[in-house]
Amino acid sequence: MSSELKAPELLSPAGSFDKMKAAILYGADAVYLAGDDFGMRAAAANFTFEELSEAVAYAHARNVRINLTLNTTPHSDEYPKLTEYVRSIAPLGIDAVIAADLGVMALVREYMPDTELHISTQASTVSAAACREWHKLGAKRVVLARELTLDEIRFIRENTPSELELEAFIHGSMCISYSGRCLLSQHFVGRDANRGRCAQPCRWNMRYQPSTLNRLDEGCAEYEIVEEKRPDNRIPVVEDESGTFFLSSKDMCMIEHIPELIEAGISSFKIEGRMKSEYYAAVVTNVYRMAIDSYLADPEGYRFNPDWLRELESVSHREYGTGYYFAKPNEDANTAKQPGYMKEKAYLCRVESYDPETGTARFVQRNKVFADSDAEVISPGKVGRALHIGAMYDAESNPIDSAPHPYMEFTAKAPFELRPGDIVRAK
């Protein structure tokens, strides 16, 4: 088995230029990003035409691929603008375009014939038959729907052309429904709405009632939704002062299942999170890079490192789960039991340079940093290490008690070598 394993691409989100640089530094083989229009994350910073050109040059100089998202479904009146946009980016050397709409795909084929076409997860591809048809239409890769189990992905891999790449999400936010998909029908009666079998539970007589379960914690009440003809099939609903979180899905985290994912033949491991922080892009990419490389270096001797999961707990996330890889929707709707996000550790500063002769590092502040304080530093290929920040000095070498201003530069001694791009975070 080990001699047949292929190294998967690690594909990281790039919601801005800084996030892209962080993902690349911490081990991404490719990044996916959007221009300033026609992507599925309009609220992200995204890339202007000039930034997109710079991003391609920056990534290619580091042997990293750029995948551009054009995965919205434009209406007819948007096509003149879209056509001009595709024409304008054609010369930039983008490696792949991710699309879900046949009209968008036609424009890409016409104006960017040498650019790979990747079928977006928005196309809801869930079968080998659909993958084969996309391949006939010129797709180099299919981004599989997140509703597939790992067994279904294995089947798709075994029943599609070897040259067709398969991409799958391995980490990040999950949607409770999209493109008309509703999990309530699956939950109550195991009938898939996307196969024309919707039982329309949204129209059933529902009611709130006090939960038979314990309160989650002080100040956070829990309720249940109960359908009148199925009193024993209860859906817990968490409600606090911010409201209810019934439709808040767990975040996916597959760090403990890297061997299964690689052996299933997935070509590209995709991390969700263009709306997340630069810290998130660095930490999550770093963890999966370490796990993938560790397994490929010694499949027989591979052991999961619990520190990897501790690193992933340090980023902003909802309650973690494994999505649908091991459970069908009617068996586990994957709604979070805890409201809101777990907050990420404070990103204190970034290393800009290090002088090995003096052991002094120059930092750029991201959150307030205090002299004589304990922190942690993460580096590419390493989990967090303890770092004591002693005496601090400003850019003019004056001693300071703290660095309170955004992007303020300061220096401090370090007990071990640091490298540009290392991230210092709160302990």
Instruction: Please write the tens of the pLDDT for every residue from 261-286.
Output: 999 999 999 999 998 999 999 999 99
Helices (H), 121-204: 128-136, 150-158, 183-189
pLDDT of residue 79: 94
By C-alpha distance, which of 390, 385, 391, 394 is closest to 423?
385
Mean pLDDT, residues 146-169 taken together: 96
User: Which residues lie below 8 Å from residue 70, measured CB to CB, with a gap of 6+?
Assistant: 34, 35, 38, 39, 82, 86, 97, 98, 99, 104, 108
Residue type, 353: S
Kindly report which listed range (68-77, 189-198, 248-257, 272-281) carries the lowest average pLDDT score.
189-198
pLDDT-derived band of residue 190, with 50, 70 and 90 as boundaries?
Answer: confident
Give yes or no for residue 179 having a pLDDT over 90: no
Q: Which residue carries 């006090």 as its tokens?
A: 210
- Contact criterion met (CB below 8 Å) for 194 and 124: yes
DSSP assignment letter at 318: -
pLDDT of residue 1: 37
Mean pLDDT, residues 44-60 taken together: 90
Strand order across the beta sheet in which 230-240 lies = 206-210, 221-227, 230-240, 243-244
Give 103 or 71, the one with higher predicted confidence.
103
pLDDT of residue 71: 87
Mean pLDDT, residues 352-366 taken together: 97
State the chain's mean pLDDT as an integer: 87
Task: Give the percent of the chain with pLDDT over 90.
Answer: 69
**What domains lie within the chain, and their CATH numbers?**
2-176+249-321 (3.20.20.70), 183-244 (no CATH), 347-426 (2.40.30.10)
Sign of torsion, CA 37 43 44 50? positive
pLDDT of residue 177: 64
Q: What's the pTM?
A: 0.86
Q: What are phi and psi of 119, to 5 degrees?
A: -85, 120
pLDDT of residue 242: 55
pLDDT digits (tens, 9 = 90+) for 370-413: 999 999 999 999 999 999 999 999 999 999 999 999 999 999 99
pLDDT of residue 160: 98
- Contact criterion met (CB below 8 Å) for 374 and 386: yes
Give yes or no for residue 328 having a pLDDT over 60: yes
pLDDT of residue 222: 58
pLDDT of residue 185: 75
Give yes or no for residue 208 having a pLDDT over 60: no
Give yes or no for residue 2 having a pLDDT over 50: no
Give 4 or 169, the one with higher predicted confidence.
169
- Contact criterion met (CB below 8 Å) for 206 and 226: yes
Q: What are phi and psi of 125, to 5 degrees?
A: -80, 120
Give yes or no for residue 247 having a pLDDT over 80: no
pLDDT-derived band of residue 186, with 50, 70 and 90 as boundaries?
Answer: confident
Residue type, 315: V
pLDDT-derived band of residue 240, with 50, 70 and 90 as boundaries?
Answer: low
Give 39 or 319, the one with higher predicted confidence.
319
User: Which residues lie below 8 Å from residue 149, measured CB to CB, with a gap of 6+?
Assistant: 324, 325, 326, 327, 328
Give yes or no for residue 42 having a pLDDT over 80: no
Give yes or no for residue 213 having a pLDDT over 70: no
pLDDT of residue 3: 46
Task: Give the percent of the chain with pLDDT over 70.
Answer: 81
pLDDT of residue 281: 97
User: Which residues lie below 8 Å from residue 397, measured CB to CB, with a gap of 6+?
Assistant: 411
User: Which residues lie below 8 Å from residue 379, measured CB to CB, with a gap of 6+?
Assistant: 385, 418, 419, 422
Give 210 or 189, the one with higher predicted confidence.
189
Give 274 or 40, the one with higher predicted confidence.
274
- The first and second tokens of residue 178, run together, are 């999209």
The residues facing 66 across adjacent strands are 31
Give yes or no for residue 199 having a pLDDT over 80: no
Mean pLDDT, residues 78-107 taken together: 95
